Structure 1
Amino acid sequence: MSGMTTPVRVTTAVSKVLAALLEDPEAERYGLDLMRASGHPSGTLYPILLRLQRAGWVQAEWEDVDPVAAGRPARRYYKLTPDGLVAARTELAALRRQLDRALGGSPETRPA
């Protein structure tokens, strides 16, 4: 990790965004798509995406489209970086373990 990255505090809100990005790690997702997938409004989603970018977990780029021809503004696409993919999987697994402990054991030992 380089000194330029900032650590990410993985809150419930952040974990929903990471989970949405992990649904298809190779896919580039745009804001509205991620709002629907995470359940977050833009005012929650975009600051999280910015934090994930600063941490080096997510890359973002504008699509190369003519807004007039497309009939809509250009979209900014977000995708997990290789580091972000590893970090997201690690963080979500840790969160799941915490949840399992909080709920009293592993999924295998809990009654259905």
Structure 2
Amino acid sequence: MQRKRKPSRQALVLFTALLADQSAWRHGYDLSRETGLASGTLYPLLARLQAGGLLEAEWQVSAEPGRPSRHAYRLTAEGRSIAREATQAQPMMILKGALA
């Protein structure tokens, strides 16, 4: 049985960013700049959400020659549902986190 717990402030901030354009693939670097989450926080969080079936990920080849491929992420249908529920339940926590 999976334990259900409230998402962290960092997860709520990430959910908010991913919900802004739900169908778009987002790169980690862009998410880091938008959310203010450090890479040491962001990438493990992305990996946990992907392992939990809330995110899908794919490698995208760069349109610019010589640039490496990058991982891109977007919410799954279940992830969108959980993200909407979590961000609606705790909007002040997100705001406080964004101001910190």
Matched, 1:90 2:88: no
Letter in 2 for 1:70: P
Q: Secondary structure at the match of 2:22?
A: coil
Q: CA deviation at 1:72?
A: 1.3
Q: Secondary structure at the match of 1:40?
A: coil
CA distance in 1, matches of 2:18, 2:5: 16
The alignment's TM-score, normalised by the length of structure 1, stands at 0.73
Q: CA deviation at 1:26?
A: 0.6
Q: Secondary structure at the match of 1:70?
A: coil
Matched, 1:35 2:26: no
Share of identical aligned residues, percent? Answer: 39
RMSD, matched Cα: 2.4
Superposed CA deviations along residues 39-93 of structure 1, whole A, max 9, x for unmatched, are 1111110011011111111001111458xx6221101000000110011000101
| Structure with the greater alpha carbon radius of gyration | 1
Is the Cα–Cα contact under 8 Å of residues 23 and 74 in structure 2 kept in the other structure? yes
1:53 aligned residue: 50
Q: Secondary structure at the match of 2:73?
A: strand
Is the Cα–Cα contact under 8 Å of residues 60 and 72 in structure 2 kept in the other structure? yes
The alignment's TM-score, normalised by the length of structure 2, stands at 0.81
Name the structure where helix makes up a greater proportion of residues. Answer: 2
Give the count of matched residue pairs.
93
Q: CA deviation at 1:9?
A: 4.2
2:69 aligned residue: 74
**Structure 1 runs (4+) greater than 3 angstroms displaced:** 5-9
Instruction: Tell me: CA distance 1:49–1:14, structure 2 relative to 1, closer, same or farther (3 Å).
Output: same
1:103 aligned residue: none
